[in-house]
Amino acid sequence: MFQKYLYIFIFFSMINSCAQDKNDVTFFSVEEKIIPRISIPLNADEETENAASEFLKNFKILTGENLIIERSNGLNTNYFYIIISLNPTQKESYCLYKKGKNITIQGSNSENLLYAVQDFFKRFTSLTYFQKNNSKKVDAFEKNIKVPEEFSFCSTPDFAYREPYFSPNFNTDFRVWNKTNYLELEWGIWGHNLPKIIKGIQVPETIFALVDNERNEEQFCFTSDILFNYVNEKVKDLHENDHLLTKFMILPNDNDLVCSCNTCKAVGNTKNDAAPAVFTFLNKLAKNHPNLSFFTTAYSSVKKIPSFKAASNLGVFYSTINIQKGVPIEKIKNFEKFENDIKKWKDYLNNVYIWDYVVNFDNYFDIYPTLKVAQDNLKLYKKLGVNGVFMHGSEENYSTFDDLKATLLAALMWDTNINIDNEIGTYFRTKYTSKLADVLINYYTFIENSFFLSKKELNIYSGINKSVKKYLDPKVFFSFYKEFDLHTQNNKYDKDFLKLATALTFLNLEIMRDAGLGDYGFASLNNNEEIIVKNEVGILLDKLFVYSKTSDIKTYNEVNFTIEEYINSWRQTIFRYHKRKHYFYKKSFKVLSKLDEDYTNFKVLNDGTFGLKDYNTNWHLSSIDNLVLEIEKSAISKSKKITFSFLQDKKHKIYYPSLIEILDMNNKSIKKISITSDEDLLNTKEVSIDLPTDFDNLQLPEYFKISIKRADVSGKNSLACDEIIFN
């Protein structure tokens, strides 16, 4: 009986297979001398010619064959054609269809026509973006290409504006292949650039905001006629010089200052909200330039929707900077506010765009695998009627897997329902050898799912410790890194591979720095008292140096911290730490001073980790009180001195301390050391104080205090301390 069913199954399988083959027809064949021609209308414009040339270019990369382009309103029945044309009246952005022997490719505009050409090659041929972009050569020209006997596909994006702001998107071929926008080509004014527009010209102080009855050059007065007239002329000049620049962003400067002059208050400004004046300004621009679009952002000083009507060619970017936490927005506590905000803006304006964030700006090498989170968010944005998305990535800087992220985010912004796991697999298999691709697919898919399933938040400004807790399991990462490293020799001339190797090596070191002493750390503790730095650290630092030099990567975060300085800081630290005694390692102690809300984990002060110049990793910050500890003498009885490490980062109001003092429990001073102020804007410093001895004629009591006094500077300031070592 089983054999009977098996034969039946095989029979129908064969029929189905034959049917599949029968439904495919030859589109191109060297052996059969079947070569299509390209047809464009007799009156085809330059954009249609460009699309035809793009088809020809792709076809030649794939097959080595030069196709003939015919300009005609009729077709020669002796040939079959790829008919390329514009159809401005069609509802969909582009369509591909075949009925009979000819294939038609149509776009609603020139941009969509180019997208349609790329879609044809993605659907029906083996051509990849890496081959098209010459980063991966075609192994052998295609000799035979088949397409379905009949097909009809049309496509329209889920969002009208789609920009993944990573360096791969700066490439024209990438944008055409992945159907994305690029701010440099469409925006005459972008971001907080009003100061640049007025730079170098004589302007009266009345163009600046009146704050506390004084003109403040840190912000603008958006009811100033002089400011308006100048910006209005600038918009006119920019558009006339380049007609593609049709969008303009008018933003207040990046601060909370709001103009309170009489005219600004008259249009509706409040002490904290400049939206009425900004939209008054935009309405005037919109009236003067009805064919252009003007945007601002719902961010910082632009808060509530004005009471007056907005012009139809106005729009807003809603920034998610305060709610983007590495979890889907629908699952955060502020979701309802976000939802209501978007609905209100949609009722007020035709164009509501989202300004989203998809990297860790404190560490571009943190993988920050947010594709599945982004997919959930994009589905939400679509449901709420958002019609544009700007995904703020690492800009021109490299970030880990930025090419993968840019590619998949582009695909998601066109179609929010794509299968991300499948797309990850397709991406790596088209870019790398099968063995390396498998390593990357397995790991990246794992961390995407780990990140997505974790309920822990991960801010877009976060230290490595939070990434480890969210998704970056050290055991899994180290295993993956070893597998990845096996492929280095075969890819030593591949710049993209070397960029990735740079980032992953950096990440390996960061995980070790966060782990401190132990299995996953940078060192071990010999006999529970002596730090021994692992040989592996030196090897990794050497690799990081070589990889970063050969791949030409110099920095690793938003503020351009350099890899060279990172390596030097590591070497200096491990040189000091190697064979240093650490009698205080993970010993219990008390903190007697008040702790900052975000820095209640004081165990970082003796967990064997060390800080560099990023205050987010391994530093304990005190901003509301001096740092006062209670120590038990028996726990550190072998010690002769205490060594402290401090950070000074004046941009973030972090300063070296002014005084370190050892006190008894009655606050009687036993020993102290003053620390002179330092002009360093950003640096670290080690400070030591000897413990009292018989020679000092002083003794430590059984319990004593260490008091570290914050700097004597005006205004808010913080003290940053990492490891306190009794040695």
pLDDT for residue 81: 96
pTM of the model: 0.92
Q: What percent of the chain has pLDDT over 90?
A: 90
The reply to whether domains 18-156 and 164-170+177-453 share a CATH topology is no
pLDDT for residue 444: 98
Q: Say if residue 19's pLDDT is above 50.
A: no
- Helix H, strand E, coil C: the string for 348-361 is HCCEEEEEEECCCC
Taking residues 254-278, report their average pLDDT: 97
- For the chain, the domains span 18-156, 164-170+177-453, 473-577, 590-726
Task: Using pLDDT thresholds of 50, 70 and 90, give the confidence band for residue 253.
Answer: very high
Comparing 688 with 699, the larger pLDDT belongs to 688
Rounded Cα distance, 64 and 504, in Å? 38
- In this predicted model, what pLDDT tens digit does every residue of 535-589 receive, in sequence order? 999 999 999 999 999 999 999 999 999 999 999 999 999 999 999 999 999 999 9
Measured between its terminal Cα atoms, the distance across the chain in Å is 82
The token pair that represents 353 in the structure block: 């765009």
Q: Say if residue 283's pLDDT is above 80.
A: yes
- In this predicted model, what pLDDT tens digit does every residue of 641-673 receive, in sequence order? 999 999 999 999 999 999 999 999 999 999 999
Task: Using pLDDT thresholds of 50, 70 and 90, give the confidence band for residue 22.
Answer: low
Q: Sort strands 81-86 and 37-40 into parallel, antiparallel or unpaired.
A: parallel
Task: Using pLDDT thresholds of 50, 70 and 90, give the confidence band for residue 447.
Answer: very high
User: Residues in the chain, how many?
Assistant: 727
pLDDT for residue 203: 87
Tell me which of 11-20, 117-126, 698-707 is least confident.
Answer: 11-20
The mean predicted confidence, pLDDT, of the chain is 94
Rounded Cα distance, 81 and 76, in Å? 9
- Confirm if 570 and 509 have CB atoms less than 8 A apart: yes
pLDDT for residue 695: 61
pLDDT for residue 192: 92
Rounded Cα distance, 54 and 64, in Å? 14
pLDDT for residue 133: 85
535 φ/ψ sector (left φ>0, alpha ψ -120 to 50, else beta)? alpha
Got the DSSP string for 574-591? HHHHTT-B-TTTT---EE
pLDDT for residue 10: 43
- In this predicted model, what pLDDT tens digit does every residue of 68-84 receive, in sequence order? 999 998 899 899 999 99
- In this predicted model, what pLDDT tens digit does every residue of 412-437 receive, in sequence order? 999 999 999 999 999 999 999 999 99
pLDDT for residue 381: 98
The token pair that represents 352 in the structure block: 């509501």
User: Could you tell me which CATH number the domain at 18-156 has?
Assistant: 3.30.379.10
- Confirm if 370 and 563 have CB atoms less than 8 A apart: no
pLDDT for residue 20: 42
Rounded Cα distance, 609 and 511, in Å? 10
Q: Say if residue 15's pLDDT is above 50.
A: no
pLDDT for residue 139: 78
Rounded Cα distance, 127 and 95, in Å? 20
Would you give the DSSP letter of residue 169?
A: G
- In this predicted model, what pLDDT tens digit does every residue of 122-147 receive, in sequence order? 999 999 999 988 777 777 899 999 99
- Nearest CA to 93 out of 67, 122, 114 is that of 114
The token pair that represents 116 in the structure block: 């349609």
pLDDT for residue 186: 96
Taking residues 2-14, report their average pLDDT: 43
Rounded Cα distance, 420 and 426, in Å? 10
Q: How far is CA 61 from the centre of its chain?
A: 32
The token pair that represents 598 in the structure block: 């975000």
- Confirm if 245 and 188 have CB atoms less than 8 A apart: yes
Taking residues 246-265, report their average pLDDT: 96
Beta strands in 264-305 (DSSP E): 293-298
The fold for domain 164-170+177-453 equals TIM Barrel (3.20.20)
The fold for domain 590-726 equals Jelly Rolls (2.60.120)
pLDDT for residue 9: 40
Q: Say if residue 343's pLDDT is above 70.
A: yes
pLDDT for residue 16: 43
- Confirm if 609 and 573 have CB atoms less than 8 A apart: no
